[in-house]
Chain A
Amino acid sequence: GAGVSQSPSNKVTEKGKDVELRCDPISGHTALYWYRQSLGQGLEFLIYFQGNSAPDKSGLPSDRFSAERTGGSVSTLTIQRTQQEDSAVYLCASSLMRTMEQFFGPGTRLTVL
């Protein structure tokens, strides 16, 4: 079956612009996670959605970052007024339930000039 998909695969933007990154989780997975990986670094947790519960936003680095998950499926991560330090690979993962293994998408490579 289809895995987690993300779009776009690459995004180049200018400093100060807003960007939207999309994640399509595996059908039926109730938990969805966003992480980011800066060059040469490990993965950093950003936000977590579980069913209809309030999301865990504890990893968002600033109020320029927000995410939503519509209809319990597709999720969009929005970064407003992008900065150069936002350049990273943004990874989305989903799992059937929050205690189960996470399946990762291929990521979106964001470059802020």
Chain B
Amino acid sequence: DAKTTQPNSMESNEEEPVHLPCNHSTISGTDYIHWYRQLPSQGPEYVIHGLTSNVNNRMASLAIAEDRKSSTLILHRATLRDAAVYYCILREEGAGGTSYGKLTFGQGTILTVHP
């Protein structure tokens, strides 16, 4: 599986935007970029995913570099409930891919939100 690199931790203040970076320099053409987050004592939850174009949903935005070697998860206005571990994951979705379907989690970024 292609590897991602994220900062160990980041801090933000409530109601400010947060930009969580992820490097994936060995990404292949069939890898989708997925973001999940894990709140304390809970299972992970899906945040957003994309392939080439920037993506927006009700939770966040995903900005993908033109060369796809990096991406940024954007929380437009952080709340205390957004404090979690954020995982950037490359998911192979090409036909016949051996890792097709499963998620390979790294260490993620611990986001702390200050009131």
Contacts and interface: CB of A to CB of B under 8 A. Distances in A.
B46 A33 contact: no
A101 B49 contact: yes
Given A43-B105, A45-B102, A48-B102, A105 B43 contact: yes
Nearest to B107: A42
Interface stretch (A13-21, A71-79, A91-99): A91-99
Question: Is chain B's interface secondary structure helix, strand, loop, or mixed overall?
Answer: loop
Nearest to A45: B102
B46 A103 contact: yes
Interface in A31-87: 31, 33, 35, 42-45, 48, 50, 56, 59
Question: Is chain A's interface secondary structure helix, strand, loop, or mixed overall?
Answer: strand
Interface residues of A, number: 23
A25 interface: no
Interface residues of B, number: 18
A23 to B, nearest CB: 11
Nearest to A109: B41
A33 B103 CA distance: 9
B16 interface: no
Given A45-B102, A45-B104, A99 B43 contact: no
Contacts of A98: 100-101
Given A42-B107, A99-B93, A101-B49, A106 B101 contact: no
Contacts of A93: 43-44
Interface of B: 36, 42-46, 49, 87, 93, 100-108
